[in-house]
Amino acid sequence: MKPLRLMLPALLMLLSIVAFAQTDAQKSFDQMKTLSGTWLGAVKVDPPQHEIDGTEIRVSLRVTSRGNAIMHEMKAAGTPDDPTRYDDPITMLYLDNDRLLLTHYCDAGNRPRMVGKLSADGTKVEFDFLDVAGSTQYGHMQHAVFTIIDANHHTEDWTYLMPGDKPMHAHFDLQRKN
Amino acid sequence: MDREWNDSQPIYRQLHDRVVAMILDGVLKEGDPLPSVRNVAAEYRVNPLTVLKGYQQLVEEELVEKRRGLGMFVKDGVRNLLLQGERQKFLSEEWPRIHATMRRLGLTPEELLDAAGPAPNAKSSTGSDTKDEER
């Protein structure tokens, strides 16, 4: 009986560690939540198109639904808020059991999903394509990477597959505005 | 370019189609620069990445070419190429439907031409450059 009494606190401690241990998905999600706010920055594209380089993009990330989702919106700086007329895509990030998922509501009319993975150093969340709902006749978003540089600086890399699977890559270098 | 967008296609595809229409209509001539991405984005209040997607598709289709530091330009020979494609598309996709309707309604080609009025390119009895090119 005595050994069991001695083991009980250790067992309880172990159980509590297991219960509160964050999954990688939860860690990724928490890391993404630190990006909540409004960001402004320049865009660079590949294949290169010099006349667009430096165009200012506004990104907003908002934690919503009692912390169960993050809403991401990207638009050209200065564009009015009118989602019925303008083409600014919305992306929702959320946990699905042990996965961090992203659903991109594309202005091309489809909804690709991607699975996120946190880098070992915890500064990068990379999203790989999982599946897509809707027609891909006009291409679809394929890949996304969020890299946290510091509390006020992060980058985003979005890869869109054009018809014929030709990739178009946009890199946003973003500074926090609030 | 029209400022309104329909819901049946993404905006980038509609932009692409409008540039093609501008080339076919002679508004954009071979060798002309395309309006800049920033200008189109600002004027039509669309995301510059959307404009870029439309332009990139024109590049992929070899209708326009990028000139480093200068922008994008309509390629030589593109208008005839587009005309051939559009004519083929009309004859294979639209004409059978129109022809069936004409037969059903008993319409003659002469009646249709009368209803359409004078041809927009019929500038003079000698014909215009545009008409000659189309031939």
What residues contact residue A174 under an 8 Å CB cut-off, 6+ apart?
A39, A40, A41, A57, A59, A153, A154, A155, A156
Average pLDDT over residues A38-51: 89
Does residue A87 sit at the B interface (CB-CB below 8 Å)? yes
- Tokens coding B5: 């967008």
* Of B5, B56, B68, Cβ closest to residue A168: B56
Q: What is the pLDDT of residues A103-114, one digit of tens each?
A: 999 988 899 999
Q: Which amino acid is at A152?
A: N
Residue B125 has pLDDT above 50, yes or no: no
Tens digit of each residue's pLDDT (9 = 90 or more) over A13-32: 555 554 456 799 999 999 99
A112: preceding bond cis by omega (within 30 degrees): no
| Minimum distance, in Å, between the CA of residue A25 and any CA atom of chain B | 30
pLDDT at B132: 43
Contacts of A106 in chain B (CB under 8 A): 10
State whether B47 and A79 contact (CB < 8 Å). yes
* Higher pLDDT pick, A110 / B47: A110
pLDDT for residue B126: 42
pTM score? 0.79
Cβ-Cβ contacts under 8 Å between A and B: the total is 73
Task: Note the pLDDT tens digit of each residue in B7-41.
Answer: 888 999 999 999 999 999 999 999 999 998 888 88
Mean pLDDT, chain B, whole residue set: 85
DSSP string, A141-169: EEEEEEEEEETTEEEEEEEEEETTTEEEE
Contacts of A52 in chain B (CB under 8 A): 37-38, 48-49, 52
**Both structure tokens of A19:** 């219960």
Q: Would you identify the CATH topology of the domain B11-74?
A: Arc Repressor Mutant, subunit A (1.10.10)
Fold type of domain A23-176: Lipocalin (2.40.128)
Q: Residue B77 has what pLDDT?
A: 93
**Which of A47, A74, A107 is facing B56, going by the closest CB pair?**
A47
Facing residue for B52 by CB, picked from A45, A74, A86: A45
Chain B residue with the nearest C-alpha to that of A58: B47
**Location of each CATH 1.10.10.10 domain in chain B:** 11-74
C-alpha to C-alpha distance for A83 and A35, rounded to whole angstroms = 22
Domain ranges of chain A: 23-176
Q: Is B10 on the interface with A (CB under 8 A)?
A: yes
